[in-house]
Amino acid sequence: MKKNNNGKVSLNKLYILIAIELIIILFIKIEFEGYLNSESLNVVFPEKSQLIIFESKINEEFKNKKHVNLNEIESNLPFGKKWIINRYNHNEINVGSSLDPNFILETIITTTSVINSQKPSTKLRLHFSVVENFKPRDMIKIYSLRNKLREDVEFNFYDASRVEKELDSISYKGPGLAAKLLLPQLLDDTVKRLIIIDNGDVLVLRDLKIMYNWNMENYIYMGAPDPDAGTFGKILNKTMSFFINVGNYLIDVDKVKKKNMYKLFLKYKSVYPPPFAEQQMINDINNGEIGYLPVEFGLVPPYNNDKLLHKRKNKKAFYDCYNYTIISNTSDFIPKTYYEFLHGAFNPIIVHSYNGKWVKGKGMNIYRKLCQYFIELSGMKKEICKNRPGYCKKI
């Protein structure tokens, strides 16, 4: 009797296909179970079935409307917490940031500091512009801070994926940074102002209501002064006597929409190279409409590490690089000397450690300890320390 080699080959192929399918199913099951068993997600809904329904509703809303309010989605579920919308509250502040799926842990640290530092009377609305196929489970992970810290905080997510192609050249860090340039124009008309906050190297230490309600006069953007004040702008071809750091800044949303700032960013995206193209464009395009806030709203630490403070007494602090002749002529609340800047460093409202990033194991220890406090408060210390060990470094 002849053996049917073709039959053997076909049967072997079938076995291989079945084995591959079983491996795929097992992998998906392990990944999904790990997601469902995540401590941060279980805080939102202990029951897996509820979490799956929540994720499905978020996905549907985000896909159809390019925006989702997680509080509202949960409120419409029979087992979810109710959410009462209270617009036009004089105590309301709107805070925004942008990110991709690789920057969730950094965002959680900074967002924890934002939520924790606000007074009970301050009504906080958070707005995140997201890119690179940001998934509902990623949103829920950030949203879990509501249950851990404060239930009256509002969480909104916006699809900013268009920047992936349109502004791909302005940053080495990917489209997550560029997404905040689009965010103000994605907001509904109930949002008149927005505070933009960088993630990961920024901590908010006190209530932001004073910053949010600052007299903006005719300015479109306001922020703490940056060392680049006094440099020449390539777009408007004049010296920029006002130059703000855009790690955190205040926006007049109505003016941004009227001027269609995103269209201008697209027009001038090639004028400045990364990594500071975003900051250069904001200051240059709006020269004459840029205003200063007190340095406490975005103060960089005096030194990038403790050694410079303790072992080299004659080493000047970071503030020595500011052009005081330029920035001190603008308002009476801006420091006029190096020593006035040092005085402001004692009690910042927002600290922006771009001169010594905690995620890289750098920075002054006093701010690192504050960062570690917020990591503990987030309830995700184990995950953050495992995946971003620089934050948890002991000095």
| Segments making up each domain of the chain, as ranges | 52-294
Was domain 52-294 assigned CATH 1.10.3210.10? Answer: no
Sign of CA dihedral 104, 107, 109, 115: negative
Using pLDDT thresholds of 50, 70 and 90, give the confidence band for residue 5: low
Using pLDDT thresholds of 50, 70 and 90, give the confidence band for residue 4: low
Q: What is the pLDDT of residues 102-138, one digit of tens each?
A: 999 999 999 999 999 999 999 999 999 999 999 999 9
Span 172-192, average pLDDT:
94
Q: Are 78 and 54 in contact (CB under 8 A)?
A: no
Using pLDDT thresholds of 50, 70 and 90, give the confidence band for residue 265: very high
pLDDT of residue 84: 81
pLDDT of residue 144: 96
In angstroms, the CA 194 to CA 129 distance is 13
The mean pLDDT of the chain is 88
pLDDT of residue 23: 53
Q: 269 CB contacts (<8 Å, ≥6 apart)? A: 166, 167, 169, 170, 277, 281
Using pLDDT thresholds of 50, 70 and 90, give the confidence band for residue 40: low
Q: What is the pLDDT of residues 285-316, one digit of tens each?
A: 999 999 999 999 999 999 888 887 776 556 78
Q: 3-class DSSP state for residue 224?
A: strand
pLDDT of residue 29: 45
C-alpha closest to that of 244 among 166, 118, 302, 331: 331
Is residue 2's pLDDT more than 90?
Answer: no
Q: What is the pLDDT of residues 325-383, one digit of tens each?
A: 888 777 778 888 888 888 888 889 999 999 999 999 999 999 999 999 999 999 999 99
pTM for the full model? Answer: 0.88
Is residue 324's pLDDT more than 80?
Answer: yes
pLDDT of residue 132: 96
Q: What is the pLDDT of residues 73-102, one digit of tens each?
A: 999 999 899 898 776 678 999 999 999 999
C-alpha closest to that of 107 among 129, 122, 135: 129
